[in-house]
Amino acid sequence: MDKFHLMTVFVAVAEEQSFSAAARRLSLSAPAVTRAISALEAHLKVKLLIRTTRHVRTTQAGHHYLLDAKRILLELEFADESAAGIHSSPKGELNITAPSMFGRLYITPIIVAYLKGFPDVNVNALFLDRVVNLVEEGQDIAVRIGELADSSLRAIKVGDVRHLLCASPDYLKLNGIPLCPDDLLKHQIIVSKAGNGSCSWQFEQQGVKQLLKLKPRLSMTTNDAVINAAVSGFGITRVLSYQVAEEINSGALCTVLTDFECRPLPIHIVHQQGTNVPNKVRAFINLASIQLGSDTRLKTGADAET
């Protein structure tokens, strides 16, 4: 019995939540995957997976085994790399997650450059506007915008972004420029529901914070759509500075209430702690740190002047 093979199959099924998807991922037949899971459960004398007509999910025992199996397989990968030499070329699958718009604008070009440099690595990118649990969702690297809550992760800071209130010049000419947060109550507000999008906006001036609850005229599910609506002259929206760097530089959008901005949000590249960092992870972090760290659009104030 090849326990490492059984672990690999189990991890694939648990992550894909599907036997057929795991079979495609591993280039195995569906019956081979089913036999591997049955053999593993028989060997452990415990049920690891619950199968329904729609999906597959882990039992409580299966969840704990999944975490241990992924750790063991990672250690095995590192042992192989150590035997081959620390400077061996990265190989295998690399899983990366980032916020949707940041992933499209900043991480995708880095992934393409990385793949061109390391032809033996395949990348799976998960761009979502929510915090992804690296361990539970099988991610090697994450880009996080905001203060980090999970101290178990190793983090490298690569930049900062600001929360900006923006509107088109035509809108401001027609409706006036707000001079204090309360003036927003007289304006048309556009809100994004992406991530933790909220109708309550926080402001700060000279250490005094204010939380203003607004009733939006327009709520949308993506930041791109919100920015397009603001550019078209519909109203005022609140976005992150990197998301509107191009629009502000071109004059399509103007910032307002900059004297009431809260402190900038840090951008980090994070991965699981430990000294045994696979070459594929180390190589991507090195490349991303250089490219993101040198990007002037991710420097506080560099992308938001009007």
> Could you tell me the pLDDT band of residue 83, with boundaries at 50, 70 and 90?
low
> Could you tell me the pLDDT band of residue 304, with boundaries at 50, 70 and 90?
very low
Burial class (CB in 10 A: 0-12, 13-18, 19+), 206: exposed
What dotted CATH number matches 3-84? 1.10.10.10
Structure token pair of residue 170: 């035509």
Residue 39: is its pLDDT beyond 80?
yes
Residue ranges of the chain assigned to CATH 3.40.190.10 = 92-156+278-296
Task: Count each helix (H run) and each strand (E run) in the chain, helices first.
Answer: 10, 14
Residue 251: is its pLDDT beyond 90?
yes
- What are the pLDDT digits (tens) for 145-163? 988 876 667 888 998 999 9
Residue 40 near residue 46, CB atoms below 8 Å: no
> Could you tell me the pLDDT band of residue 73, with boundaries at 50, 70 and 90?
confident
Residue ranges of the chain assigned to CATH 1.10.10.10 = 3-84
Predicted local distance difference test score (pLDDT) of residue 187: 96
Highest mean pLDDT among 36-40, 168-172, 209-213, 271-275: 168-172
User: How many whole angstroms separate alpha carbon 37 and alpha carbon 47?
Assistant: 10
* Residue labelled with tokens 């402190």: 263
Residue ranges of the chain assigned to CATH 3.40.190.290 = 163-260
- Lowest model confidence (mean pLDDT) among 10-24, 102-116, 263-277: 263-277
Predicted local distance difference test score (pLDDT) of residue 266: 92
Residue 198: is its pLDDT beyond 70?
no
pTM (global) more than 0.75: no
Q: CA–CA distance from 93 to each of 75, 106, 135 (Å)?
A: 15, 20, 15
Residue 172: is its pLDDT beyond 90?
yes
CATH number of the domain at 163-260, out of 1.10.1040.10, 2.20.28.120, 3.40.190.290, 3.40.50.1820?
3.40.190.290
Residue 236 near residue 189, CB atoms below 8 Å: yes
| Percent of the chain residues past pLDDT 70, beyond the cut | 90
Predicted local distance difference test score (pLDDT) of residue 305: 37
What superfamily would CATH give domain 92-156+278-296? Periplasmic binding protein-like II (3.40.190.10)
- What are the pLDDT digits (tens) for 124-146? 999 998 888 887 788 999 999 98
